[in-house]
Amino acid sequence: MQKILVARPIFPDVIERLKQYFDVDWHQGDVLSVDELTRRLADKDGALTAGDPVGAAVLAAAPRLRVVSNMAVGYNNFDMAAFNAANVLGTNTPDVLNESTADFGWALMMAAARRIAESEHWLRAGQWQKWIYDGFLGTDIYGSTLGVIGMGRIGQALARRAKGFNMQVIYHNRSRVAPEIEAELNAEYASKQDLLKRADHVVLVLPYTKENHHTIGAAEFAQMKPSATLTNIARGGIVDDAALVEALRTKQIAAAGLDVYEGEPNLNPDLLTVPNVVLTPHIASATEATRRAMANLAADNLIAALGEGPRAGRPPNPINPDVIGKARS
């Protein structure tokens, strides 16, 4: 039987599925250190990860490893150049999380714009004595301009919801989406600078890459409206968190909603000291149904990539399909 490592706690019934095909080493404790991950992978044919960093050194120490299946759509934890050099397949879990993640983007954006977390903390602290005409004034959503940076599948799901709020949708992306998608979403392509100037609510849904590091920092906050909000449901590192703290403190922008952070799960401690930011612990895809779908899709990818099950040899979501069928190097 081939051996696999499941590097994270996941749904036990998914582990049972994997056990039908593999000898499973299931790590259920805290996140594995790189050293421990390397050690546990040394004799494995495949692995299921969720954000664990896998690069050249880890792959070199695991000569049998042929596939690493990430339980996430984002795979910035994989060094894909190293995967390609070693002929190791990487897989991810796109699509199944689009709607839950888009819902959550809206929840964060609305919470930031309407100061929901901030006012709730104030209420819980027993500070509510009377109705105040100018208490917790926020920024409207209905009829405003939504600026989506990153118009992939989640960005599109997010933009689709804007119709019900009568919003104008502008977007920025590496390349323009197909005209029929622009028409369906009533979305106008804009340069990043134009989007930052015009949007009332900027939402980030782009993958993290070296090029996207600090896509939003001090220079970008300077271009945004003082009434604008910024929501990040993409990845930490896309926003310069220190610059964001400053922009929130000085009211250069009105508010922010963050689900992801530079260096998470550790975050810039200054973020905890500014009231006009809503902070959640990377849970945009966290509904029971969606996390189950992600776990099962990650298992499907692993099973198929290791030549087992009904899709043997044809994993549904290969990131680097060119390595399929090539000998490990």
Q: Which residues bind ligand DGY (CB under 6 A)?
A: 72-74, 97, 285
282 has catalytic annotation = yes
CB of 244 vs ligand DGY, minimal distance in Å: 19
SS3 for the chain is CEEEEECCCCCHHHHHHHHCCEEEEECCCCCCCHHHHHHHHCCCCEEEECCCCECHHHHHCCCCCCEEEECCCCCCCECHHHHHHHCCEEECCCCCCHHHHHHHHHHHHHHHHCCHHHHHHHHHCCCCCCCCCCCCCCCCCCCCEEEEECCCHHHHHHHHHHHHHCCEEEEECCCCCCHHHHHHHCEEECCHHHHHHHCCEEEECCCCCCCCCCCECHHHHCCCCCCCEEEECCCCCCECHHHHHHHHHCCCCCEEEECCCCCCCCCCHHHHHCCCEEECCCCCCCCHHHHHHHHHHHHHHHHHHCCCCCCCCCCCCECCHHHCCCCCC
CB of 285 vs ligand DGY, minimal distance in Å: 4
Distance CA 234, CA 315 (A): 25
Distance CA 143, CA 269 (A): 35
Catalytic choice (36, 264, 292, 328)? 264
Of 21 and 261, CB closest to ligand DGY = 261
Distance CA 278, CA 34 (A): 31
264 has catalytic annotation = yes
CB of 261 vs ligand DGY, minimal distance in Å: 12
CB of 97 vs ligand DGY, minimal distance in Å: 6
Of 14 and 72, CB closest to ligand DGY = 72
Q: Which of 281, 282, 311, 283 is nearest to 297 (CA)?
A: 311
Of 97 and 187, CB closest to ligand DGY = 97
Of 74 and 316, CB closest to ligand DGY = 74
Of 192 and 282, CB closest to ligand DGY = 282
Distance CA 204, CA 155 (A): 8
Of 65 and 73, CB closest to ligand DGY = 73
Catalytic choice (214, 282, 292, 311)? 282
Catalytic choice (8, 160, 201, 235)? 235
Here the tokens at position 205 are 């849904």
CB of 80 vs ligand DGY, minimal distance in Å: 15
CB of 52 vs ligand DGY, minimal distance in Å: 12
Catalytic residues: 235, 264, 282
